[in-house]
């Protein structure tokens, strides 16, 4: 798919995607500060789901670059308000901030481990391409799962 100079092409994709993301992050911060964090979070999660569904369709370096450039600001669009919500929730439980964050990290790690074990098992029984396609489908569904959050820090005035 990527042909010769694979590492150079991957590096170019990563550099361009990151540069594009940096241009968008400031605007995302302003939206969060204007109490539009929940709206941004939800829109970004829906967009993230569709991006994951589009990934298996990428057949060229240009299509991979396009998907990754679309993904970078979308990722920032859901991570920034989500992180704000998590830290605000941790601060709302006086004396238990570390315990709250540690438990969130534990749950995150267990979920990631479960996903990677599932991918490993899938690779044993199925082709790599179909396993990755199913993995992207699962990632898209999981994006919708985050929409049920109820962080008070993201409430509008």
Name all contacts of 16-21 with Cβ < 8 Å and 24+ positions apart. 16/65, 16/68, 16/69, 17/65, 17/68, 17/69, 17/71, 17/72, 18/72, 20/69, 20/72, 20/73, 21/72, 21/73, 21/75, 21/76
* pLDDT tens, position by position, 91-108: 998 889 999 999 999 999
Q: What's the CA gap between 83 and 59, in Å, rounded?
A: 33
3-state secondary structure of 127: coil
Q: What angle do CA 129, 131, 132 make, to 5 degrees?
A: 65
- Is 35 a member of any domain? yes
16 in Cβ contact with 69 (< 8 Å): yes
- Is 43 a member of any domain? yes
**For residue 27, what pLDDT is reported?**
79
- Is 146 a member of any domain? yes
The range of the structural domain enclosing residue 113 comes to 6-154
Number of domains into which the chain is organized: 1
The count of residues in the chain is: 157
3-state secondary structure of 60: coil
**For residue 54, what pLDDT is reported?**
94
Q: Which residues of the chain have pLDDT under 70?
A: 1-3, 156-157
- Is 1 a member of any domain? no
**For residue 78, what pLDDT is reported?**
92
pTM for the whole structure: 0.78
- Is 140 a member of any domain? yes
């Amino acid at each position: 798919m990527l042909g010769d100079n694979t590492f150079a092409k991957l590096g170019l994709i990563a550099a361009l995607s990151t540069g594009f993301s940096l241009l968008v992050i400031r605007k995302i911060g302003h939206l969060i500060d204007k109490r539009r964090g929940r709206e941004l979070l939800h829109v970004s999660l829906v967009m993230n789901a569709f991006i994951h569904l589009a990934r298996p369709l990428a057949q060229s370096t240009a299509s991979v670059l396009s998907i990754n450039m679309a993904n970078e600001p979308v990722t920032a669009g859901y991570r920034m308000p989500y992180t704000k919500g998590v830290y605000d929730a941790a601060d709302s439980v006086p004396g238990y901030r570390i315990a709250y964050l540690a438990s969130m990290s534990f749950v995150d790690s267990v979920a990631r481990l479960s996903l990677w074990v599932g991918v490993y098992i899938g690779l044993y029984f199925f082709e790599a391409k179909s396993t990755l396609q199913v993995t992207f489908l699962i990632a898209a569904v999981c994006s919708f799962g985050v929409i049920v959050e109820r962080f008070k820090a993201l409430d509008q005035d």
